Amino acid sequence: MAYTLLVERLERQYLADRTGLVTAAYMSGEEVTPPTLDEALEAFDAALVVVPESVTERDRRNQAFLKAV
State residue 16's pLDDT score. Answer: 95
**Which residues have CB under 8 Å from 49's CB, separation 6+?**
none
Domain parsing of the chain, residue ranges: 2-68
Q: What is the C-alpha separation between 47 and 67, in angstroms, rounded?
A: 26
State residue 51's pLDDT score. Answer: 85
Amino acid at 28: S
State residue 53's pLDDT score. Answer: 82
Q: Has this prediction a pTM greater than 0.75?
A: no
pLDDT tens string 9-68: 999 999 999 999 999 999 999 888 888 999 999 999 999 899 888 888 999 999 999 999
